[in-house]
Amino acid sequence: MALLLKSLLGALAVVLISLLSRSRNYYIAGLVPLFPTFALIAHYIVGSERGALALKTTVLFGMWSLLPYFVYLFSLYCLVDRLRLPWALAAATLSWAVAAFVLIQGWSRWHG
C-alpha cells in the first residue's frame, strides 16, 4: 500500500509539472520537484528509527546536498544554448553526479 501511495504521489507530481509547464507561469514547474516529498519520508524514518541526533545530521547533509543541485542547474543554464537539449541535460546530470560524488567523499572524510 505504501508503494502505491508513493507511486501516486510521483504521478501527481508529473501531472502537475506538465500542467504548470503549459501555463503562463511555466517557470513554477521547476519548483514542483523540490517539494520535500521524499525528504519528509526520509526524515520521518531516520528520526523515528535513529533519533534526533541522526535526524539533525541527515538534515545538515541535506542542506549541503543543495550544492550538487545548484551545479546541475548552473550547468544546464550555461549549456542549454550551446548543446541540443538532450546533451545539455545529460551533461548537467553528469555535473550533478560529479558534484554529488565530491560531496559524499568530503562528508565521509569530515563526518565519518
| Any domain includes 79 | no
How far apart (Å, rounded) are the C-alpha atoms in residues 96 and 25?
26
Residue 38: band (very low, low, confident or very high) from pLDDT cuts 50, 70, 90: confident
Residue 11 located in a structural domain: yes
What is the rounded end-to-end Cα distance, in angstroms, of the chain?
A: 35
13 inside domain? yes
89 lies in some domain? no
Average pLDDT, the chain: 93
Q: Domain range for residue 5?
A: 1-35
Give me the mean pLDDT over the 7-32 stretch: 91
In a domain, 90, yes or no: no
Query: What total number of domains does the chain contain?
Result: 1
Q: What does the radius of gyration of the chain's CA atoms come to, in whole angstroms?
A: 17
Domain membership of residue 101 (yes or no) is no
Confidence at residue 1, expressed as pLDDT on a 0 to 100 scale? 76
pTM of the predicted structure, to 2 decimals: 0.83
